[in-house]
Each structure stands twice: as C-alpha cells, then as structure tokens.
A and B are shown apart, each in its own frame.
Chain A
Amino acid sequence: MSIVASVFGQEISVSGKVTDAADGTPLPGVNIVEKGTTNGTITDTDGNYSITVGSNATLVFSFVGYLRQEVAVGNQTTINVSLEFDVQALEEVVTIGYGTTRKEDATGSVIAISSEDFNRGAITSPQELIAGKIAGVQITNAGGAPGAGSTIRIRGGSSLSASNDPLIVIDGVPVDNDGISGMRNPLNTIHPNDIETFTVLKDASATAIFGSRASNGVIIITTKKGRANRPLTVNYDGNVSIGTRTGEVDVLSADEYRSLIQEQFATNQNATDLLGSENTNWQKEIYQTAISHDHNLSLSGSVENLSFVESLPFRVSLGYSDQKGILKTSGLDRFTGAINLNPSFLDNHLRINLSAKGMYIKNQFANQGAVGSAVAFDPTQPIFDASSPYGGFFTWTQPNGDPITIATSNPVALLELRDDKSTVKRSIGNIQFDYKFHFLPELKAKLNLGYDISESDGDIFVPENAAWLYNALVGGGEKRLYTQNKKNELLDFYFNYVKDLGSFDSRIDATAGYSWQHFWRKGTSYSTNVAETIVNADTDYETESYLVSFFGRLNYVFKDRYMLTFTLRQDGSSRFSEDNRWGLFPSVALAWDIADEPLLGISELFNSLKLRLGYGITGQQNISDNDYPYLARYTYSEDNAQYQFGSGFVTTLRPEGYDANIKWEETTTYNIGLDYGLLNNRFSGAVDLYYRETDDLINFIPVPAGTNLTNQILTNVGDLVNKGIEFTINAKAISKADMVWEIGFNATYNENEITKLTATDDPEYLGVFTGGISGGVGNNIQIHSVGFPANSFYVYKQVYDEDGNPIEGLYVDTNGDDQLTVDDRYRYKKAAPDVYLGFSSLFQYQNWDFSFAGRVNLGNYVYNNVYSNNGTYSGLYNSVGYLNNVTTSLLDSKFSNPKYWSDYYMENGSFLRLDNLTLGYNLDNIINGVSNIRLYGTVQNVLLITKYQGLDPEVSSGIDNNIYPRPRTFLFGVSVEF
C-alpha cells in the first residue's frame, strides 16, 4: 500500500527489487524517493517496490546502514538496485534524546564513544570505560572499594545543593542514579562488556530535549544488540585480577611512637603506662592482596523467516564477577544478565525493541572506619590479647574492664567483628514500539514503556562482644536489617517525521511527544542489640514523585550544509506547587558544515569542518531527599524520640520547614564549537567554548532565625557561572595494514564562580559554609561565596618562622584590624581542577596491541584532613585512658592542638595518573570454529605522579579523609569469539 502523490506531466510506473550488495539478500524497508519531490515508497519484505514517477525522474534509494544510491529513471520500468553496506554508517548515527541523528546533521556538542574505544581492563564500573576520554567530562571514582561508584561532572557542576550528576539514559530509560541502598554504584547493573556506546550530550542544544533534568549533561548508554541476517556469534570474556595496595599514610612506627610518648609524657605516668610492647603496623594488618575474577558470555544472532516475524535479532548475555577488596572483608559477587530482542513485523513497519537487564549482587562491606582507626591506633599494642573478652582483640578498657566507649577501636576488630552484607536485585528494561505508518512511511510513532526496579536487603551483624558496641546492662552488639525498594516507570510516546524535501534541497526531522515518569521508593531500617531486647532504630519511609513532559524537536538541514535544530520541552514536576510546577525549556542551535562549502574549496584538506552555535535553557529539580519541599508537612517521631507526659510517653509531631515557592533551577548555556577532521581524518576532534549560567539556584541556606520551621532551607537563591574551553584531538599517527597507532588527547579548562547568593546582595555576607571535616564536630572547611568558585576553601593563612616551620596558632591578619579573629580567614583555592586532561594511545602491530590511557588534573587543591586530624601532640593521649598514633606530619608542624583551619593543610593536588596499560595478542583462526582469541594483560592505576603528601589527591570533594585506597590491579584476560 502506498500513496500516490500528485503527478505532473508523463507518468512512468517503475518497480524492482533492492538487495544487499554483499550477499544478495533482499532488503526490506528501503526508502525510495523521487528526488526533489515528496513522492516516495518503501520496499516490502521481499525487497520489492513499485512507484509511479514523472519522466526524467531520479530515484533516491536510502536505508540506514547502507550508502545512498541515486538512479536516473529514464525509460526504465524495472530498476533493481543493490545497496552497499556503509562501513562508517554505525559511527555516523548518533543517539540523541528521543531518537538518533546523523552525525553530520548534529548541531550540539555530542560525543559518542563506542566499545572499541573504551578504556580496556575496566572490570566492574561502567564509568571507568570512558574516564579521561571526553573533554569536559570528569570522572572520579569514589575510592578503591569493589564496585565503587563514581562522581561524574560534565563541564563543572551547575548546582550547589541540587544534584550535579548528569542524567543517565540506558537504552531509552532514564535511570535512577541517586544511589541504591546496599549498592555502591548504581551503574553496576550493566556489565561493561554489554555496552555498545556511551553518548555524552554536553551543551544545552543537545540536552534541552530532556528539559528539567539536563542541566548537568546527559549520558546515553546503548547496549549491544543482535543484528538481522547475522550468524550466531558467541563471545566469552574472562579475566583474573590481583589488586594490591599502593602505599600507606605515613604514621609513626612503634619505636618512634614509644619514644615520643615517653618524651611528651615524661611526668605523666598515666600516659606512659599505657604503652605496649608490640610493633604493629595497623595499616598493613587491615589490607590484603585481592584476587578477583570476572566472566561474561554473550550470544548474538538473528532468527529469520518465522511466520509472523520478519526477523528476530537477539543478544543474550550473562556475567559473573567475584571481586575482593584490598580492605579485608570487602568484596562482591555480581551476576548480570541482559537480553535484547528486536523483531520486526508487518513488513518491517513495526519494529519492537525489547530490552531487559538484570543484576543480582551480593555485597560484603568492610567497616571502613578501620581505615581511619588504622592510622590512629597505638602501634605498640598487639592485635590480639588472649585475655580480652572482646573477641580476643586488644581493646582499650576502663579500670573495671569495660571498654572505653570513646577510645579508638581496634582496626582489625572493626573489620572482623562486623558482618555487613547486602543483596541487591535490579532490573532495567523497556519495550519500544516503533511503527512506521503504512500510509505515510516518513511518519513514525514510537511508544516506549520502561521500568527501573530495584530491591535491596541489607543485614549487619556485630556480636555482643564487639568492644565498640559493648553494653553490660542490656547486651550490646547490633543486628540491623534494612530494605529498600525502588520503582521507576516510564512512558514515552512520540511522533517522528523525517522527510527529504528534494525540491528545496532540504531535509526535515521533526519529533513531538509526551513523556510520563513516576519515581517511587520505600525503605525500612530496623536495628536492635543482639539479644533483641533494645530497639535502636525502627524507621521506614515511602515517597514518590512524578514528572510529566511535552517535548518537540525540529531539525532542518539545508543543502546538507546548513543545519538548524530547535527543541522545546515543557516539564511538570510534582515536587513543586501548582504555581511553580511547569517549566519551559527551549533551545536553538545552528551548524554550518564549512568543509562542504563549495565556495571555500577546502574539502580536499578537511574531511569535515563544522561550526556549531548553540543556546538553550535547561532545568534542575533533582532534590533527591525531598519530594515535597513546597508542602507544609508534619512528621511523627520514632519511639525513641518521644516525650514524657505524666507516666506515659507521647509520640511527637514535628512541623517541617518548607519553601512554598520553591521552583526550578535554570541553566542557560551558550556554546560555540568547531568539529574538524582533516587529512583524510588523520586528525579529528573538536574545540568548544561554553558559558553556562545557572539562575535561581536550588540552594540550602540559613533562613533568618525564627522565620521558618528549621534553620536552613532549600530555596531558590543565587546564580552561578561556569565557563570553559574544551579541546579534543584524535590522531592516526600510523595507519598501515599491519601497523596502527592512534593517539587521543583532550583538554578542558573550566572556571566556576558564584555570582549571587542571597536575596539581599549584602556585601558583608560571608557565604554558606560547606565541606564538613573530621575533627571536632560539625566543622566546615569550605564556603560558597559570591565572586569565588563554589566550594572554595576558607582558611587562615599560616605564619612561618625563619626556618620555614609553622608557628602554631599564628596567622596572617588578613583584614588588617590588628587582631586575629575568624574574619581573618580567607578564601583559598578550590577542590575542582582548573584544567583536566585525558590522553590515550593505541598501538597495533600485526597481532599485537598495546594501549594506555591516563589523566592529568591541574589546579585542584586538597585539604589534608588525615594530617590535620591526626597530627597533634594533644591527640596522642586521652586522659580517659588511651593513646593514639599520629601522622609523621606532626614532626614537621609540631602542633600541640588541632589547627583545622590553617592553610598549612592545604596542598596542591595536581596529579598525573596513568589509569591503565594493556598489552594484548590476537590469535586468529587457530582453532576450528573459533574465529578469534585475544589474550591480554592490563595494569590499572599504574602510576600516580603528584606532590601531594597524602595517599591520593584524587578526591572529588577536595577533603582527603581516609578514603578507601585505590588498588593497583594486575589483570590477565582472555576474549574468545566463536
């Protein structure tokens, strides 16, 4: 069935068959258009078509993944065409929000990294696959715990209190990246081997179609799928890895410590009597060499010629990881499964894409308190003490034999006497119906129904004899059970209309639709002592929010060189009151393909040269812990926070603080970019300049005392600017048949400044304190202030004596009022780097390949909280009756008391990290039926070059406080393809 368009002059009926040039199989669904008109048709299941065209017509045959072909009709009535497979086609189509676009038609800053360009040897965390690969994208993992998550920042954070995480969309389902109880990394749902591409949308013209959640960029993850007409392929990937520790915090050895205590407390026998006679390196005792292995098996192919289904491509994969952490007792077992089915029906007019990913993970969490305890615990004490009733571990005790409740806990006991497990199940999936109208094949209707469900069960057990939870009266220890359920549902429905307007030398691609999402979560936590006689916590919550959106996009391409994209999205969020609920997010972008401009005649030199200009507004409403910030609510107390009236206890009802007028945060982005490819694409890349201004920041600030039902509230106050430059170059240094060398480099400069913070513009207003540190209670080291980057450090300027040693407690009188007050603190540096660079290299020679990738951060400053909190004489001894070790920094600072706010502890954290290094070898066709075997070895976290004195300067918050150390991992792997 086809539509016959208006006909002018003579008409000729043309028919024929379209086949694949490679194997002659018929190609269904090929677009056939009479050039310069709106007249067209498509091929049926057998590749046949017929069309009536005018005389002197030219037919244009096009099909995704194949090269376009034009045939002049002349007098022919039968035209058979075989289309050539376009090897570059897969790269040329990029996934964008609600659809795809041809790369050459893209107007926004969109970077796609496909599987062959991924970092190699990334074993569990999908984020690691692209770390350092993309300018403007900074990925910092949370530490070395198995399956640890990562902080992803695209072009600096645009928010202060709302989330700065990008929106992550997996196969069309925006997923929950807010964290799932009992799971370290929400992206662990997918096995890295199942990922086909990462597409990062950076500027507003690309992201605005996602409206209110797009301010921090969008990452679209596409998983691998089966393809039609492909033979069954089986892939196996497996590896074994060994994780080792790279260093330790410098603390005093037992002997150094003994002499220090004897010297410091020469007149205080109470202190010296506490010294033990052992030499224990506590840091050594809590770590181990971690051996892990990971397996992934996938089958892909296509079932053909079924009765109702034209073709059923499929891919199924199963994965298993057993990872151990270098901190004893930490590890995880992970099972992943993914299935993709992409059948086509009704003469290929209806395509269905069914996708489901599931994960089952068993975590064993180590008590990370041991990391800090191992730094502080007295090295002269033994690990074990046969007479200790506390699990046989040495414990600081009171004269009556009970543990000192406030003393440092034995680090090994912390690990061994706490069993902290969780199991998490999660599934993300969707079914997409893609219907191409029979009467108007340019028009497609798409329905996408998706879900993201997770279920966590956690279980913590600490025995009664654990010193830190000892309770002689009612019985100590801990039994804690917690659960969390999350359910996010999605419905997208939209129309897509693509039309070549040959007569105008134009192409339009229009999309309009509707999206509905529901986010729901529920959790419980129940904790008692081991005897279950005392309930320490019995809490639960349930909350939800909805997001309802209307969106549209128009792409217009003129002469294949001039491109315009316009998008508009209207989002309604249940998190805001009816008056503020709806937000409108427009964007517009223009692009000019300069290389194809005939006037300039540079197409010889440049394969591509495209100038992009973009403008757009995006929003932010992700306030993860509060779905009702505008609503006046009351909350009941738990049973242990009741109040006594008479002889009974009354559950209390607390009015909550709220801002009835809270609304969207809005980010306006301007982007100018240039994509280039020259000398036969030997060099390619992009340069982008951006300016992003966030208004009505959702900010957590102090309210004037007495005005609200709390002291700090989430409200829209303040503006923030990010501006920067990104540069990417990929070079094919050598490109021969048996030798290839590819080099990639990217650089980003970002500058962040708060331009407004209060409603009052009071120049005296210091700002909002942030950046909590260890040491004391409730102390902050950072501040958000107008005119400075967010999270600037706020410290005193240390004064040094002539030998360069810091003078304790003496700081520069920065405000010149001749006295030293808190107002002498100054804003000094920030945690975010000024510049970050990524580099990678891939060298292939015959069957060998060698690659490496690394990153450089420049100008990121780190507050060494390990030193500031563990480096004072006063910390050595507590008169309740215990000792603490100190970091060797004390030998330099000689501080008696903690000087948390001295800039003495600020260090330049610039670093170069070689993330991974891989050597691989491919064995081709050596065994019958096995098409490829690849063997490889990888070292991860190979090298860290920095002047930072602590363990690792890569801390996204800028506050180094006993992170789980990143291991150096040696990995041996094999990939087999059948």
Chain B
Amino acid sequence: MKAKNLKIYIITVFAAILAFTSCTKDLDTVPLDKDVVTSASVYDSPASYRQVLAKLYAGLAVSGQEGPHGNNDLSGLDEGFGQYLRAHWYAQEIPTDEAIIAWNDGNLRDFHEQDWSSSNEFITNLYYRIFYQISLCNEFIRESSETKLNERGISGANKTEIQTYRAEARFLRALSYWHALDMFGNVPFVTEDDIVGSFFPEQINKADLFDYIESELLAIEDLLMAPMVNEYARADQGAVWMVLAKLYLNAEVYINTAKYTECITYCKKVTSAGYELESTFENLFLADNHNAKGIIFPVAFDGIHTRTWGGTTFIIHAAVGGTMDPAEFGINGGWGGIRTTKTLVSKFLNVDNLKSASLNLKTVADYPLLYVPGGHQGWDPSNTNTVLASVNSDGNYEGYLYFADADNQFKYTDGPTWDVNYGDTGADGTLEQNGDNIVAGDAGYYKLNVDLNGLTHSFLKTEWGVIGSATPDGWDSDQDMTYDVDNDVWTIIVELSAGEIKFRANDGWDLNYGDTGADGILEAGGDNIAIADPGKYEIKLKLGAPDYTYTIEQFSSDGRIMFHTDGQSLEIAEVFEFTEGYAVTKFKNVTSGGVIGSDLTFPDTDFPVFRLADAYLMYAEAVLRGGTGGDAATALSYVNALKERAYGDQNGNITAGELTLDFILDERARELLWEGHRRTDLVRYGRFSNTDYLWAWKGGVAEGRSVDSKYDLYPIPASDIGANIKLVQNPGY
C-alpha cells in the first residue's frame, strides 16, 4: 500500500514537472524591439542591403544609431570626439601648421605638442573608428556575396543593385584601410573571410597592405558607377581614382617606391571625367554644398536627419569664438576652439605687413554712455550699439552713428530707459528733457556731440578717407573710403608705398585721426601712422563709440583668404586663448543664397573629402616629382585654373618657373586648408617631423621645435596591443 502511494506521488510529480518542462521552450527568445532584427532574417529583404550600406556611409558621419548621440557604435569612447570625421580631422590638422585648438580635454594638447603616446584617447578613438568601419564593411561584403544572394533567392535588378552596393562597401573598406596605412602603418588585417568573433588578427606590413588596398580598388573600379551618375553622397569611380591617386602619390612614404606615374594615370581619369571646378570657391563649404561642383566624394550631414557632435558640427562650431558673430555662420554659438597659425597665414599674406589687427576692437568701451534711440534702431534705448561715450567722464559725449534713412529722428537717453531723455525742441542746438525728436537730415554717417552740462548738442555728417605720403596722391588729396553697413566700418583697398598715413573726414583737416603711441587707438589730430613696406593693403576704420580703432592688412585678392581677424592676434602666446591666432571662416552653415541651414546646432554642410582641385594639385606634384604620362604645361594650367578661381582674374597666376614642389605644398595649404590633408602632405614633404619647418607651438614650445621622426606615424593604441598578442608597436612608441 505504501509502495502504491509512492507510485502515485511519483506519477503526480512527474506529470507536474512534465507540464512545466515544456516551458523551457520559452528560453528561445527573439528580440521584441521593432528596431532590432536578427541577422538570420535581416538579409531576406533586398531593402535591408541598402540600409546596411547606408550605415557604412553613416559610419563616417554619425557616431551611433541616435543623433547626435545615443546608442553609440563604440563603447568607452566619447561620441563627439569618437566620430570618424572628427577623429580624422584632429589627427590630420591639429598637429600641423593649419590648426591649433584652445581646448584642454584629456590629452588633446598632445596633438599640437606632437608628443602623443599609445594611450592617447583621441588616437584610440580614430583607430577604433577605422577598424569599426572595416569590420562593418566586412560584414556587409560577407553577407552580400554571390553565393549568399543566390541562396536567398535575390536576382535580377535587386541583385545587380546589391552587387553595386557591395563594390561600394569594398571602396569604403579600402578608404579606411588607406587611413590606417597612412596614419598607423602596420595594422591588424581582417577581411570578409574572417568570422565575427574574438581572435587575434595578423598584423599586415605596410607593403602588403598597400598591395591589398591597390588590388581592391583596381578590382572594384569597373564595378562602381561612372562619375556623377550615382546618387549624391555615394561613392563612384571618381572616388576610387582619388584614393588610388593618393595611394600612389604617397607610395614613397608607404612602401619606399615611387608611383608618380600611376598617380598621374588616376589623376587624369579624374580630370577627364567631366568634373568642373565650382566657380565660387566658398560655395564648396556652405550648407548647400551638395550643389557645388567639383566635389568628388563628400561625407553628408543634415541638420535634421544626420546629426552628430563630430563632422561639420564640430568644424563650424569650434571655429567660431571671439568677436565672430555665430549667426553669420548659421549656428547658435561658437565653441571657441580651433584657429590657425601665423605660418599658415603667411601662405596667403605677408605677415610682416599686418598692422594693428592684434588689438582688440571693442564695440563698447568702459566710458559713461549716452544712448541714442531713434528711427535708425527701432527706438530702443537699451541698444548698446547705438551709444555715445564720454571719454573723460565729464558730461561731454561723442560718437558716430549711421542713419540709413533721410530725416532720421532720434533722441538721447541718459541710461537704457526712457526715464531721462532729451530732445531738441525748436532744433536750436539746445536740449530739453522730453523735448522734440531730433531730425538728422540726409542719410549718412554722423558724428554726434552732446554736452549734458550745458545741454547742447551738435551733429555732423562725415565721409572718410586716408591721406599721407604712403598713399597714391601723397598729402595732397585723400583716398575715399567706403562705409560697410554690415560691419560698421569704413574700408578701402589701396596700393601703398613706404611712408605715412592719416584718416580724415570730409576732405579737410578739421576732423582727422592719427595714432599717437602706435597703440591701435586713434586720437583726433594724432601722430601719423607708419607704413613700412609697399604693397596693396586693406585698411579698416572703426569709429562708432570711442575708442576708435583701425586695422591695416596687406591685401591679397586671393578669394580663399577666409580669416576673421577682428579681435584675433596673429601670434599665439597662449594656446588656450581662442583670440590668439587668426580664426578661419571657411565652413559655414549658411547656403550660397545666405539662408541659414535647417538647424542652428547641426549644420547641413557636407564635408568635401575629395575635390577636383586636389586632383589638379596631385597631378602637378606627380609631374614635378618625375612621374610620366603628364606634362608640365597641363600642370601649370591646372594650378592657374585654381588661381584664377581664387583671384577672379589672372593676377594671381604663376609662371612655369614658379611651379615648384614648395609652391605646390603651399598651394595645397591655401586650397585645401582644414580639409583633412595636411599631415599626410607634410609627411610626404618631410616637413612634419625631424625638420626645420616649424610653426607656433609645434612640439609644445611657442617658437616651435623639431620632433622625433617616430611621430610620422601614430602609435597603435595600447588597448589593442593588449588585446591582440600578434601586434608589434610602431617604432619608438
């Protein structure tokens, strides 16, 4: 009986457990999130291939699956700094004469000091971005093979389309491997033949990697679409040729073998493909630069759809600071980070002939103010841009204001409110509290004087000019300046000889300014201003409220000069002060039509990775370096094509004798400033490390110093040396 009962228990228990055991199938879960699919099913749909391809391109533009940050592609790295293009830009620009950065994040300063180590987080960012991109490309290439497409029953137009995608993925992988070769040298090597997992990839040497990149690019050349046929922002043959040209141009650096002839071959493919130079240089760097001609391969950004803290968001925001008006750049505020060095400015201008630009041009000085509300500014007594100042704090105020309209009316207020306001009842020069509005008369630029002690005022319409022994007409008559309404300055571009100048109003000496003490602040009747060297100059006179200031810069009509100098010094005494070093105004989130992009934080501006102008310059350089298949005349015509675009005329053109390798390097700096080529160019010219070519703060000292040649390559990050036993560090690190 006991045994029987036991049996019943056992059966009951078994039945119960069996009933529940079936629940173990619950353990086979699949993701519920509609944003997640398993790799087992993702490639069943042809549309997915396009979306995965888009991710490969987006790998250059955004940092994760949420913009501008969130759901990061990588871990342990900052999303802003870790974005591909930004990490690449840091590595290519900050260690060169083209850029210096005012931020002190982590080991960021290592870049301009050229003393980075294998633990530098920014180098680590770049390295992992490159290899992330490579592994993503590998995944797609693996999953889009002929065999796999056939297995999945994909055929016809879909299949053809996907095969093009696959070739583009191979291009993107080759591009990243080229970055790896250029910046890291001998790197781990993985292809679509490796599986996803954790293994120790072999380190490939530079020569083999060079061969691999070359063979890949040659293999896909005919698989990609012809130039300018593919959808915007996707790679085509032009992009392949550009990477090949780059690879060959730098082959001596990479593999100690000259390949200039091959470089010329591929430059010629580019130049004969039908690309045209964009006629307006600055359009290449604006919010609508997807319409600009001559961009062979961009990284595309968009204020709404493609948001990142890297890319052009970084380049545009970080370049704005000091007195720069963010609105002019189509952004909500500058980050005050990157400027350029005097060495770079000197590629455009004779820096010895720059005058006073280093002084701070203040909009409002620290003097007692009298406010001038009126029709010229919307009757706003709190507007500090329309004020007079009392330099001696004695109740006598003066200043200059521009009245755009005839019969402009205004009043004076003793403070930013209407509480105490003065008008001139009867227009008799005597002020009355709450008196009638004052009427100026003609439109123009007026000097206003108010004596609050005696309650009198006067105003005088002025036209300004420069005069002096340095000017074409000497001290006899002045050269008229023109008023720039937007910037509230009088300007003139004039050919000067060595000598002196002064500013005077209304073609007479009643009202004139010189600079006593040469401190950049003008005094009425002050000393003459010396001009040391003859040349063409741009002179600016800034009046407004005292103090009055001016700048004199040697003028170049090279339209590629895009510096903001107001309030910026040329010299850099303090690396972390944005106002030291000229600011660069090249990239903007404003369209060629002057319209701000779709968002103030995230620009629409695309980044031009490869441009036709680069191909022109590579062609010229390869010819000069002895490559065959090209000719000097064509080289000269290419360079002059760029010059003519920059100058708008042939004044900047050079002669065959002037076309030298040094000229090319400088011209690359002028044409391709901040476009991510500089480190590679300087290394190729032997002017990066171990050289007397110096610039401010190179090597961490103000005057610059030469650094060890090991810095021509970046170190492989310590974390990967630790993770992969097969890696050998680059020499010297």
Contacts and interface: CB of A to CB of B under 8 A. Distances in A.
B546 interface: no
A546 B26 contact: yes
B210 interface: no
A345 interface: no
Contacts of B54: 642-643, 645, 650-653
Contact of A470 (B136, B332, B336, B579): B332
B139 interface: yes
Interface residues of A, number: 115
B23 interface: yes
Interface string B75-89: 111101110000000
Interface in A622-637: 627-628, 631-637
Nearest to B108: A776
B397 to A, nearest CB: 21
Contact of B200 (A539, A704, A712): A704
B688 to A, nearest CB: 21
A828 B40 CA distance: 47
The size bracket of the interface on B is: 35 or more
Given A516-B26, A640-B304, A704-B188, A471 B722 contact: no
A572 B39 CA distance: 24
Interface string B6-42: 0001000100110011011011111111111111101
A643 B27 contact: no
Interface in A506-537: 512, 514, 516, 518, 520, 522, 534, 537
A774 to B, nearest CB: 11
B583 to A, nearest CB: 11
A76 interface: no
A416 interface: no
Contacts of B28: 574, 578
Contact of B52 (A653, A762, A897): A653
Nearest to B333: A405
B181 to A, nearest CB: 14
Contacts of A542: 32-34
A405 B529 CA distance: 40
B27 A707 contact: no
A545 B132 contact: no
A839 to B, nearest CB: 40
Contacts of B24: 548, 572
A659 to B, nearest CB: 7
B321 A880 contact: yes
Contacts of A512: 13
A739 interface: no
A461 to B, nearest CB: 20
Contact of A644 (B108, B200, B300, B334): B300
Interface stretch (A112-120, A198-206, A218-226, A396-404): A396-404
A493 B16 contact: yes
B304 A541 contact: no
A42 to B, nearest CB: 17
B156 interface: no
B599 A709 contact: no
Contacts, number: 357
B102 interface: yes
B55 A637 contact: yes
Interface in B302-318: 302, 304-307, 317
B65 A635 contact: yes
A545 B9 CA distance: 33
A221 B74 CA distance: 40
Contacts of B563: none
Interface stretch (A90-98, A235-243, A763-771, A913-921): A763-771
B55 A640 contact: no
Contacts of A534: 304, 599
Contacts of A760: 725
A709 B139 contact: yes
Interface string B541-582: 000000000000000000000000000000000001111000
Interface stretch (B114-122, B211-219, B250-258, B431-439): B114-122
Nearest to B335: A406
Contacts of B128: 705, 711
Nearest to A437: B9
Given A269-B360, A651-B51, A705-B128, A715 B198 contact: yes
Nearest to B718: A766
B333 A403 contact: yes
Contact of B105 (A514, A766, A777, A780): A777
A631 B334 contact: no
B406 interface: no
Contacts of A21: none
Interface stretch (B189-197, B612-620, B631-639): B189-197
A644 B31 contact: no
B722 A634 contact: no
Contacts of B106: 776-779, 900
B326 A544 contact: no
A548 B121 CA distance: 43
A359 B707 CA distance: 65
A473 interface: yes
A631 B42 CA distance: 13
B359 to A, nearest CB: 11
Interface stretch (A132-140, A695-703, A797-805): A695-703
Given A581-B27, A706-B131, A778-B76, A399 B323 contact: yes
A660 B197 CA distance: 8
B162 interface: no
A878 interface: yes
Given A495-B13, A707-B196, A634 B578 contact: no
Given A542-B32, A709-B135, A643 B57 contact: yes
B48 interface: yes
Contacts of A945: none
Contacts of B125: 778
Nearest to B129: A711
B382 interface: yes
Given A705-B724, A878-B336, A778 B121 contact: yes
B233 A645 contact: yes
Nearest to B601: A471
Contacts of B33: 540-543
Interface in B655-700: none
A758 interface: yes
A708 B141 CA distance: 14
B68 interface: yes
Interface in A777-797: 777-780
Interface string B319-347: 00111011100001111100000000000
Contacts of B723: 701-705, 758
23 contacts: A545-B29, A546-B27, A628-B36, A631-B31, A634-B39, A636-B37, A640-B66, A640-B305, A641-B64, A643-B233, A646-B232, A650-B54, A652-B65, A655-B139, A701-B723, A707-B197, A707-B201, A709-B139, A710-B132, A713-B198, A764-B721, A778-B106, A779-B121
Interface of A: 268-270, 273, 387, 398-400, 402-406, 439-440, 443, 470-474, 491, 493, 495, 512, 514, 516, 518, 520, 522, 534, 537, 539-546, 548, 550, 572-574, 578, 581, 627-628, 631-647, 649-655, 657-660, 700-713, 715, 758-760, 762, 764-767, 769, 776-780, 821-822, 874, 878-880, 897-898, 900
Given A269-B360, A708-B198, A766-B722, 5 more contacts: A512-B13, A537-B70, A637-B65, A709-B132, A764-B721
Interface of B: 5, 9, 13, 16-17, 20-21, 23-24, 26-40, 42, 48, 50-52, 54-55, 57-58, 61-62, 64-68, 70-71, 73-78, 80-82, 102, 104-106, 108, 117-119, 121, 125, 127-128, 131-132, 134-136, 138-139, 187-190, 194, 196-201, 231-234, 290, 300, 302, 304-307, 317, 321-323, 325-327, 332-336, 360, 363, 366, 382, 416, 576-579, 596, 599-601, 718-725
Ranked nearest first, the 7 interchain pairs of A and B with the lowest CB-CB distance are A646-B231, A640-B67, A880-B336, A776-B106, A405-B333, A632-B39, A704-B724
